[in-house]
């Protein structure tokens, strides 16, 4: 968590510090661990501060893909205005024990909000957030914009 941002990530970036040179020094100073998720989060914040939410996210993903070896960059990022869910994964690199839909993300818009779930949630009415796409939810109106990334 940083400011009004919270973040979760499912996947791996190898090596975890492959993207460290691209993180703003003010965020590097906040690193408390060596996890790929922590590096991912601070790279996102670096790029979002430079370019804005959507362009910053796209830029961070491009940096990670160029400089890291990844299985999945699936994540959720939330601030007071938006909730962003990203489906970005390599289905061929899922764990051996995992089902084929392991990295899939599903969502269900309702009048009260938008629900998101990971694999194993094949329920009627839920839509799949396609791989290489993000869902940007306005937290005030619950309007959803699906963006190719």
In a domain, 69, yes or no: yes
- Report how many domains make up the chain: 1
Residues 122-142 have pLDDT tens digits of: 788 999 999 999 999 999 999
CATH of the domain at 113: 3.60.20.10
Instruction: Map residue 65 onto helix, strand or coil.
Output: helix
In a domain, 139, yes or no: yes
Q: Are 75 and 9 in contact (CB under 8 A)?
A: yes
Give mean pLDDT, residues 81-107. 93
Its domain, for residue 111, covers: 6-148
In a domain, 68, yes or no: yes
In a domain, 35, yes or no: yes
Residue 64 is predicted with a pLDDT of 98
In a domain, 1, yes or no: no
Question: Tokens 């922590």 — which residue?
Answer: 38
Question: What are 38's two structure tokens?
Answer: 């922590």
Residues 36-90 have pLDDT tens digits of: 999 999 999 999 999 999 999 999 999 999 999 999 999 999 999 999 999 999 9
Please choose, from the candidates 19, 7, 105, the residue with its C-alpha nearest in 3D space to the C-alpha of residue 70: 19
Question: What are 82's two structure tokens?
Answer: 């938006």
In a domain, 20, yes or no: yes
Residue 99 is predicted with a pLDDT of 87
Question: What are 131's two structure tokens?
Answer: 């791989």
In a domain, 121, yes or no: yes
**Between 100 and 122, whose confidence is greater?**
100
pTM of the model: 0.94
- Angstrom distance (rounded) from CA 4 to CA 116: 20
Checking if the pLDDT of 120 tops 80, the result is no
Residues 3-46 have pLDDT tens digits of: 999 999 999 999 999 999 999 999 999 999 999 999 999 999 99
Please choose, from the candidates 30, 33, 45, 110, the residue with its C-alpha nearest in 3D space to the C-alpha of residue 75: 45
In a domain, 81, yes or no: yes
Checking if the pLDDT of 119 tops 80, the result is no
């Amino acid at each position: 968590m940083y400011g009004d941002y919270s973040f979760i990530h499912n996947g791996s970036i190898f090596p975890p510090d492959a993207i460290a040179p691209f993180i703003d020094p003010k965020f590097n100073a906040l690193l408390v661990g060596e996890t790929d998720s922590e590096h991912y989060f601070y790279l996102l914040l670096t790029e979002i501060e430079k370019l804005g939410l959507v362009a910053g996210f796209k830029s961070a993903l491009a940096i990670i893909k160029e400089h890291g070896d990844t299985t999945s960059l699936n994540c959720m990022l939330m601030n007071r205005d938006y909730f962003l869910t990203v489906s970005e994964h390599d289905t061929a690199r899922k764990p051996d024990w995992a089902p084929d839909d392991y990295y899939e993300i599903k969502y269900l818009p309702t009048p009260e909000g938008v629900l998101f779930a990971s694999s194993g949630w094949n329920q009627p009415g839920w839509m799949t957030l396609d791989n290489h796409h993000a869902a940007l939810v306005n937290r005030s109106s619950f309007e959803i914009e699906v963006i190719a990334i």
